[in-house]
Amino acid sequence: MYSAILDKISKYDKISIFRHQRPDGDAMFSALALAGFLEENFPEKTIKVAGEDEYDIISRNDEVPTSFIQESLAFVLDTSTSDRIDDDRALQASFIIKIDHHPIDDPYGGINLVDASAAACAQILAQMFLSEEFSSLKLSQKTCEYLYSGIVTDTINFRTTNVNSDTLLIASKLVREGDLQVAEIVETVMDKDIDHFILATKIRNRLKIKGHFGFIIFREKDLEKLGISQMEAKNNIDEIGKIKDLQIWSIASEKDGLFDVSVRSKRGHVINTVCTAYGGGGHRNAAACKKLNRKQLKTMYETLTKMSDEIPV
Ligand SMILES: [Mn+2]
């Protein structure tokens, strides 16, 4: 598949790079890594990074005319389904290469490089750049740094359940290849500012526990009081992780009477099936669903409470 991808790259002068809406570190750093890698190795080609939404540490949103996309080879990164692409004009591209690690079957690309066992999309990209097929191409320090940053942010510095020997091996190769300062990168991408710390304290104080299930439900008025959006509330789910007594944890936040729900769990408690039952999805230990009414949320949380007391498989 790597040769097929190289072959496609060689055939196009215009390359566009897409990521998912509301990009996280993996989506943004993967896009930056791929763009930089292509620019350094193929200076005669024009590379554009599409997308409107920004990521708080670093962003690149190029001006991309529709005609450019239509004539281009499009890479879509870290995006499980085509409706989640930040800029749906990606689907008009001359050829699409999907590169992703979400366990969802939506092969919207002409080539689909999907590895659900990879801990991050950046890990899949790194594996490709480090492969035999790509060995004649240059892998710069900056590209290594972006890829490493993508892996660190998606795995919360190598502590999610999908981290395995491949993740560490590839991370190690990036550190060696790019002569990376690991502690410095982790500081840059993981440290939070003081406003976030104060907000996190307020969020943690709202934690409720039933069995081995911990949860916070934010009503619309709670969000108003805290001065945060529904999205910001959900993004703080890691603040109620790392607790010995909890097997499953979740944040639900309300908008117009309906709740968006994010769920995390420890190894052995597979919770994406629960989210799928409510129209959502995700990884085994990290999943979400949207627009649940109060009754659905209650039923879902009862299920998760029960699951949290079961002995993990
Ligand atoms: Mn990812």
pLDDT digits 0-9 by tens, 290-299: 999 999 999 9
Kindly give the distance from the C-alpha atom of residue 211 to the centroid of ligand 1, in angstroms, as a whole number: 30
How many angstroms is it from 103 CA to the middle of ligand 1? Answer: 11
Read off the tokens for 18: 């897409």
User: How much is the pLDDT for 232?
Assistant: 87
What distance in angstroms lies between residue 277's CA and the mean position of ligand 1's atoms? 22
Residue type, 252: A
Distance from residue 293's CA to the centre of ligand 1 (Å): 28
Residue 25 Cα to ligand 1 middle (Å): 8
Same domain, 117 and 245: no
Q: Is the pLDDT assigned to residue 168 strictly greater than 70? A: yes
Name the band, by pLDDT with cuts 50, 70 and 90, for residue 163: very high
- 211 shares a domain with 161: no
Q: Give the distance (Å) from ligand 1 centre to CA of residue 221.
A: 31
Does 91 share its domain with 8?
Answer: yes
Boundary (domain end) residue, out of 154, 172, 190: 190
Separation between Cα atoms, residue 159 and residue 97, nearest integer Å? 29
Is 133 a residue whose pLDDT tops 70? yes
64-68, 77-81, 226-230, range with the lowest pLDDT: 226-230
Mean pLDDT of 83-92: 96
Give me the chain's average pLDDT, please: 95
pLDDT tens digits for 171-181?
Answer: 999 999 999 99
**For 158, left (φ over 0), alpha (ψ -120 to 50), or beta?**
left
Same domain membership, residue 157 and residue 135: yes
User: Do 249 and 178 lie in a common domain?
Assistant: no
CA of 76 to the centre of ligand 1 (A): 12
Q: Are residues 23 and 166 in the same domain?
A: yes
pLDDT tier at 311, thresholds 50, 70, 90: confident
d(CA 225, ligand 1 centre) in Å? 31
For residue 183, the CA-to-ligand 1 centroid distance in Å is: 21
Position 25: which residue type?
G
Domain assignment of residue 159, given as a range? 2-190
pLDDT for position 312: 72
> Is 268 in the same domain as 130?
no
Confidence at 231, pLDDT banded by 50, 70, 90 = confident
CB 51 within 8 A of CB 89: no
77 C-alpha to center of ligand 1: Å? 9
What is the model's pLDDT at position 104?
76
Cα(26) to centroid(ligand 1), Å: 5
**267 touches 161 (CB < 8 A):** yes
User: What is the Å distance from ligand 1's center to 38 Cα?
Assistant: 21
Average pLDDT over residues 10-38: 97
Give phi and psi for 182, each to the nearest 5: -60, -50
- Give the residue-averaged pLDDT of 108-120: 97
Strands 95-100 and 208-210: unpaired
156 C-alpha vs ligand 1 centroid, how far in Å? 11
The mean pLDDT of 287-312, rounded to a whole number, is 95
Q: Which residues pair with 255 in a beta bridge?
A: 258
Same domain, 214 and 113: no
Q: Give the domain CATH number at 183.
A: 3.90.1640.10
Q: Are residues 17 and 83 in the same domain?
A: yes
The rounded percent of the chain whose pLDDT value lies above 70 is 100
- Shared-domain flag, residues 183 and 289: no
CA of 184 to the centre of ligand 1 (A): 22
CA–centroid distance, 78 to ligand 1, in Å, is 5
Report how many domains make up the chain: 2
pLDDT for res 313: 67
Last residue of a domain, one of 169, 190, 211: 190
List the one residue out of 30, 40, 42, 29 whose CA is nearest residue 139: 40
Confidence at residue 220, expressed as pLDDT on a 0 to 100 scale: 95
**What CATH number corresponds to the domain at position 268?**
3.10.310.30
pLDDT above 90 (res 282): no
Q: What would the two tokens of residue 287 be?
A: 């999943």
CA of 186 to the centre of ligand 1 (A): 17
Q: What is the DSSP string of the chain?
A: -HHHHHHHHHH-SEEEEE-BSS--HHHHHHHHHHHHHHHHH-TTSEEEE--SS--SS--------HHHHHHSEEEEES-SSGGGBSSGGGGGSSEEEEEE-SS-----SSEEEE-TTSS-HHHHHHHHHTSSTTTTS---HHHHHHHHHHHHHHTTTTTSTT--HHHHHHHHHHHHHHT--HHHHHHHHH---HHHHHHHHHHHTT-EEETTEEEEEE-HHHHHHHT--HHHHHHTGGGG-S-TT-SEEEEEEEETTEEEEEEEE-TT---HHHHHHTT-EEETTEEEEEEE-HHHHHHHHHHHHHHHHSPP-
Q: List pLDDT tens digits, range 248-257.
A: 999 999 999 9
CA of 292 to the centre of ligand 1 (A): 24
Which tens digits make up the pLDDT trace of 214-226? 999 999 999 999 9
| Cα of 30 from ligand 1 centre, angstroms | 9
Cα–ligand 1 centroid distance for 28 (angstroms): 10
pTM: 0.84
Span from the CA of 295 to the centroid of ligand 1 (angstroms): 31
Ligand 1 center–CA 155 separation, angstroms? 9
* Alpha carbons 287 and 305: distance in angstroms, whole number: 16
pLDDT digits (tens, 9 = 90+) for 43-73: 999 999 999 999 989 999 999 999 999 999 9
* Same domain assignment for residues 49 and 115: yes
Q: Are residues 202 and 135 in the same domain?
A: no
pLDDT computed for residue 181 by the predictor? 98
Distance 158 CA to ligand 1 centre (A): 13
Last residue of a domain, one of 154, 175, 190: 190
CA gap 304, 233 in Å, rounded? 20
Can you give the C-alpha Rg of the chain in angstroms?
Answer: 20
Q: What is the 64 CA–ligand 1 centroid distance (Å)? A: 24
pLDDT band at 128 (very low <50, low <70, confident <90, very high): very high
